[in-house]
Every structure is written in C-alpha cells, then in structure tokens.
C-alpha cells in the first residue's frame, strides 16, 4: 500500500510505503478547498484521486 503525503512520514506499518503527493498535485492546490473558513479535505481528496486515475496510479 502507498500512502501519499507532502512530507516524509515516520513509523509507517509494515507493507506501507510513503510517496510524494507533489508528483500528483501541487501542495498549494489544497489551499483552494475551504468551506466556511476551514479546509475541506473531502474536495481535495476527490481532485487528488481523479489526478491519480488520470496518471494511471489508481
């Protein structure tokens, strides 16, 4: 399993590897998804997933 993040993650369980999310989307994109003044990661995760499918990673 691959866990994408914008920075390194420590202490991942066996079988989980960390990969750079910036290869899918820029970190700045997450700042576009706010709802009532708070980040809304649900919308960001949709865009991230669509981009993964477009690049053939999902």
Residue carrying the six token digits 């990673």: 57
On whether the CB atoms of residues 25 and 51 are closer than 8 A, the answer is yes
11-49 confidence digits (pLDDT tens): 999 999 999 999 999 988 877 888 888 878 888 899 999
Res 46: pLDDT: 92
Cα separation, 39 vs 47, in Å, equals: 14
φ, ψ of residue 34 to 5 degrees: the values are -120, 145
Res 33: pLDDT: 82
Res 54: pLDDT: 92
pTM score: 0.75
On whether the CB atoms of residues 24 and 51 are closer than 8 A, the answer is yes
Domain ranges of the chain: 23-58
Torsion 16-39-54-7 (CA) sign = negative
């Amino acid at each position: 399993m691959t866990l994408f993040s914008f920075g390194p993650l420590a202490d991942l369980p066996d079988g989980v590897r960390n990969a750079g999310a910036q290869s899918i989307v820029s970190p700045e994109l997450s700042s576009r998804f706010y709802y009532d003044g708070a980040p809304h990661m649900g919308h960001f995760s949709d865009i991230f997933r669509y981009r993964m499918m477009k690049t053939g990673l999902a």
